[in-house]
Structure 1
Amino acid sequence: MSFDHARIATMPQLNSKPCGSNHTLEDPISADGTPVIGERYHVAARGGRAVRVKAGQTIRIINTHGTQVCDTWAFNQDNLNEFMSWEHGRAWIDGLIPKVGDPLMSNRRRPIMTLTADTSPGIHDTLMAACDLYRYMTLGVEGYHDNCADNLRLAMQAIGLEAPEVPQPLNLWMNIPVDDQMKIQWCAPVSRPGDYVDLRAEMDCIVAMSACPQDIIPINGDDCKPVELHFEVHD
Structure 2
Amino acid sequence: MTDVAAAYRAAEGSILDIDQAFYRRFVERQEARHLIASHTVPIRDGLAWEVPAGHVFRIVVSEGPQVGDLNLWNLHNPRERFWASRTRQLQRAHVSTFDRLWSTLPYLRPMATIIDDSLADYGMDAEGGRVHDLLGTRCDPYVNRLLTGEDFDFHCHSNLVRAVMPHGLDERDVHDVLNVFQCTGLNDDDQYFMKACPARKGDYLEFFAEIDLLCAMSCCPGGDLSVDLWGPEAADPLQTCHPLGVEVYAVDDALLEGWSSPTPAPYRGGHGLQRPQVDWAAIKAVNESNGQ
Alignment TM-score, normalising by the size of structure 1: 0.76
Q: What is the deviation of 1:139?
A: 3.8
Q: What is the deviation of 1:214?
A: 2.4
**1:85-111 Cα deviation digits (max 9, x unpaired):** 111101111x21112011111113210
2:243 corresponds, among 197, 203, 228, to 228
How many percent of aligned residue pairs carry the same amino acid? Answer: 30
Give the equivalent residue in structure 2 for 1:102: 99
Measured at CA, do residues 117 and 83 of structure 1 come closer, stay the same or move farther in structure 2, by a change above 3 Å? same
2:155 corresponds, among 134, 144, 147, to 147
Q: What is the deviation of 1:163?
A: 5.8
Give the equivalent residue in structure 2 for 1:115: 114
**1:183-224 Cα deviation digits (max 9, x unpaired):** 332211111211001111110010001001126963799983
The aligned amino acid for 1:47 is D
Give the equivalent residue in structure 2 for 1:32: none
Give the equivalent residue in structure 2 for 1:48: 46
C-alpha separation in 1, matches of 2:36 and 2:245: 12
Give the equivalent residue in structure 1 for 2:10: none
Verify the 8 A CA contact 1:80 1:163 in the aligned structure 2: no
1:178 equivalenced with 2:176 (yes/no): no
Q: What is the deviation of 1:168?
A: 1.0
1:206 equivalenced with 2:214 (yes/no): yes
Task: Tell me: higher relative CO, structure 1 or 2? Use CA pairs within 8 A at least 6 residues apart.
Answer: 1
Verify the 8 A CA contact 1:68 1:220 in the aligned structure 2: no
The aligned amino acid for 2:96 is K
Verify the 8 A CA contact 1:189 1:219 in the aligned structure 2: no
- Structure 1: gaps spanning 5 or more residues: 1-35
The aligned amino acid for 2:83 is S
Verify the 8 A CA contact 2:70 2:178 in the aligned structure 1: yes
The aligned amino acid for 1:135 is V
Measured at CA, do residues 41 and 150 of structure 1 come closer, stay the same or move farther in structure 2, by a change above 3 Å? same
Structure richer in helix, relative to its length:
2
C-alpha separation in 2, matches of 1:212 and 1:146: 8
The aligned amino acid for 2:103 is S
Measured at CA, do residues 39 and 203 of structure 1 come closer, stay the same or move farther in structure 2, by a change above 3 Å? closer
Q: What is the deviation of 1:231?
A: 0.6
Q: Which has the larger radius of gyration?
A: 2
- Count of residues in correspondence between the two structures: 199
